[in-house]
Structure 1
Amino acid sequence: MTNQAEVAILGGGCFWCLEAVYLEVRGVTGVESGYMGGHQADPTYEQVCAGSTGHAEVVRLEFDPAQISYRDILEVFFTIHDPTTLNRQGNDVGTQYRSAIFFTSPQQEAVARQVVAAMANVWDAPIVTEVTPATTWYKAEAYHQDYFRQHPLQGYCAFVVAPKVSKFRKTFANRLK
């Protein structure tokens, strides 16, 4: 990580979806899929999917605040997932798919709470996104990293991830790398 980079950690359903989008965002210099927010050390994907670890599937973003603000990172986030469904995104159900912002500073917490409040006027249902301090980060297994680029024709990627990437490209064309 460079001296000027900042970190954002977000959970919004399957990490493959968020990773695929943020890899295309100008100013985002690194994206990793992983787990956060639970109680079990060094969880595996299978353990997280079982729902017993308390962890959410998340992405850890490194970004250059001179190119994109934390607020803009969050605006993309609220466009590419549904923050009104508790512990679910589409057919992905469980606490590991919850909508979550894990802040790394008081400034990030303040911005996150402001954006969540502003989004309440955009969505027809209450926002259920949790805003909590970042805890220990666990990087997901190697095969989860850059998953969409490696498997674009895999069923989930073609029918779930690809539409989110397409929506991002249309909505935020000015933010593409």
Structure 2
Amino acid sequence: MSDVTSVPPEFLDTATLGGGCFWCTEAQYKLLDGVVNVVSGYSGGEIRNPAYKEVCSGRTGHAEVIQVVYDTRKLSFDQILEAFWVSHDPTQLNRQGNDIGTQYRSVIFYHNAEQQRIAETYKKRLNDEQVFSDPVVTEISAFKAFYPAEDYHQDYYAENGDQPYCQFVVAPKVEKFKKVFKERLKH
């Protein structure tokens, strides 16, 4: 994994995305060439510094998200979103598979007007072209705050790949992601 400090600041940008369990999305995005850091956390709610158990209750308003810092010389926000639409099912409202609740919603928290424009345009195009059999329900909202998840959630798949959830849920998503983005993976 690249270090954020190895990229000049003018070439760094940030995306905050929720696509279900952050263990899955974190493991996928860490594979992309140009991604310099991925942190699992919480965003979109009103409670400051929420704990995992609070977020799991579904009453904080927060979603499980990843905050991706990337090198704009290697990846564009459009490409970050291309990976986002593949990394989960954006047609499921407030769930991903058996993970159910608003904390698992599909969401893009845009950091500026350009990210908002790109996200809304991309979502509209997916729906207009009926890329998915059901409409894309991804929420697109202004970024307000990001709270990193507890340390044991960071690099979860890399550290706990033998756990049943990782084997049955995360691993298949990672393998699919590798096939789709084989030309854009880190070497």
2:108 maps to which of 98, 101, 112: 101
Report matched runs for 1:118-137 at 5 Å.
Answer: 118-120=125-127, 121=129, 122-137=131-146
Superposed CA deviations along residues 113-141 of structure 1, whole A, max 9, x for unmatched, are 11111222211111110000001110000
- What letter is aligned with 1:164? K
Q: Distance between the aligned counterparts of 2:125 and 2:83, measured in 1?
A: 14
Q: Aligned-pair distance for 1:37? A: 0.2
Q: Distance between the aligned counterparts of 1:117 and 1:26, measured in 2?
A: 27
Q: Distance between the aligned counterparts of 1:104 and 1:80, measured in 2?
A: 20
Residue matched to 1:176: 185
TM-score (norm 2): 0.93
Structure 1 outlier segments of 4+, above 3 Å = none
Q: Distance between the aligned counterparts of 2:121 and 2:24, measured in 1?
A: 24
Residue matched to 1:35: 42
The alignment's C-alpha RMSD in Å is: 0.8
- What letter is aligned with 1:114? T
Q: Aligned-pair distance for 1:60? A: 0.1
Report matched runs for 1:12-51 at 5 Å.
Answer: 12-51=19-58
Residue matched to 2:71: 64
Q: Distance between the aligned counterparts of 1:171 and 1:81, measured in 2?
A: 13
Report matched runs for 1:80-91 at 5 Å.
Answer: 80-91=87-98
Q: Aligned-pair distance for 1:71? A: 0.4
- What letter is aligned with 2:142? P
1:5 maps to which of 9, 12, 19: 12
* Identity fraction in percent: 50
Superposed CA deviations along residues 50-91 of structure 1, whole A, max 9, x for unmatched, are 111000000000001110110011011101100111000000
State yes or no: 1:166 paired with 2:175.
Answer: yes
Structure 1 counterpart SS, 2:39 = strand
Q: Note the residue ranges of structure 2 that are not aligned, 5 or more in a row.
A: none
Task: Tell me whether 142-151 or 1-10 shows the greater mean CA deviation.
Answer: 1-10
Superposed CA deviations along residues 79-117 of structure 1, whole A, max 9, x for unmatched, are 110011100000000000000000001000011111111
Residue matched to 1:141: 150
- What letter is aligned with 1:41? R
Alignment coverage as a number of residue pairs: 177
